[in-house]
Structure 1
Amino acid sequence: MAKQNIRQLTILGLLTAILFLGQVFLAILPNIEVVSLLIILYTLTCRKKVFLIIYAFVLLEGFCYGFGMWWFSYLYIWSILALVVFLFRQNRSVFFWSILSGFFGLAFGALCALPYLIAGGIGAALAYWTSGLLFDVTHCIGNFVVCLVLFQPLHRLLEWLYGEHPTSL
């Protein structure tokens, strides 16, 4: 039992590191990212333990980039995605997950605007959201394409890595 717990904890740490490094290395591209795809896949694979990965990732982001207003939105944004994925976890369509990932990219700016709504009112939230609409569109397209291309191979790899029978791929 302890050996299995150590194995799972090690895998969760590795998945968190991959999530963080994927975000850092793709940061030079405007809103082209693998975080949404990986959160989808991690939720399908790790189920409720995905929240350990999400909050460790958000904490790493805060240490790396600072704990600004954006950081508070990351505390709930990735959890919202995980909860939506958990609701639809029985779906096996790559196209469905690609559409969901794309929609999440499109909604990302609106979700990030919520702390500005609290801090500065509706005007601040609308200004924040509308100023980033072009980035949300590229985020949508990027998420859709990345998910469409990488979902199946990464899902198989994660099932093998995190699954009950890690001896065969």
Structure 2
Amino acid sequence: MSRAGFWRLLLVFFVIYSASHAAIYFSVDRINAAIEGVFIAFNFLMPTVLAASWGIFTYVDNMSKELTDLRNDVDRSKYVIAQEALAALKSEVIWNAMLVFILFLADKIIASATTAPKILEVVPNPWLVGTIALSTRLSFLIIAVVAAFIQMRGFVTAVEYRTVIAVNRK
């Protein structure tokens, strides 16, 4: 992930967090139950994204190897550009998978911490801590869903690359 990508991710997190926190804070517990029910999606999303990432990475890696077979038949500068594009796509697949995994772990840690009775006894305002935790978890889930969509977009891009390679094969 580049620096620009990291800052973009951080900006997206704070925008989603702010919007969800405002909605939760001003609804005064009316939407908390509905939001709590959404987090079960994370239990499905994380393994699905990781499995899809493995498949996409393998697909792109095999394409890279196919392209290597054509290295003597194509213009060297175009070959280098194609290999760099495939390497960037593989890197994006790995980063997205790691992001979803980290967000899943962070979500579970926050969920566990906010339900522990000992922690809630020490906190001066448990309701505010609960809204902050819920907003953070919702932000993590939304970012993970966006990362899953980006991952699927990466697969579509890989299919387009494979089509270009197949068309230009002699």
Could you tell me the TM-score, scaled by structure 2's length? 0.31
Q: Larger C-alpha radius of gyration, 1 or 2?
A: 2
In terms of fraction of residues, the more helix-rich structure is 2
Could you tell me the TM-score, scaled by structure 1's length? 0.31
